[in-house]
């Protein structure tokens, strides 16, 4: 029983939590990153947008793939719980 719960936590919920935290960090980075340029690059707005969008994309892919795995496991569990039909 505990191995099923542990597998559910590690296989479904932790990747979702990690994906949501990556998305949160990306949004926070986009709104709070300093735009002070160095000697060679004075405008950092495009870089800030690219980095935030990339992190948001990675978090979204983690969420979607994990949610798909969760749905697949749930449907397989439901199929296994059905009583077998008697032969005709």
- Per the structure, the count of domains in the chain is 1
In a domain, 56, yes or no: yes
pLDDT reported for residue 35: 75
The C-alpha angle with vertex 43 and arms to 41 and 44, in degrees rounded to 5, equals 90
Tell me whether residue 86 is in a domain: no
Cβ burial of 19 (10 Å; 0-12, 13-18, 19+) is buried
In a domain, 17, yes or no: yes
Domain that holds residue 63: 2-33+45-81
- Is 7 within a domain? yes
Q: Is the pTM of this model over 0.85?
A: no
Reported as a single tens digit per residue, the pLDDT across 32-85 is 877 776 666 667 788 788 888 998 899 888 888 888 877 887 787 787 777 767
């Amino acid at each position: 029983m505990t191995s099923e719960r542990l597998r559910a936590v590690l296989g479904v919920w932790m990747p979702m939590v990690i994906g949501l935290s990556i998305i949160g960090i990306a949004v926070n980075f986009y709104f709070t990153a300093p735009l002070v340029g160095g000697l060679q690059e004075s405008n950092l707005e495009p870089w800030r947008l690219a980095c935030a969008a990339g992190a948001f994309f990675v978090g979204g892919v983690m969420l979607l793939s994990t949610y798909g795995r969760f749905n697949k496991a749930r449907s397989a569990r439901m199929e296994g719980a059905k009583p077998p039909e008697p032969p005709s």
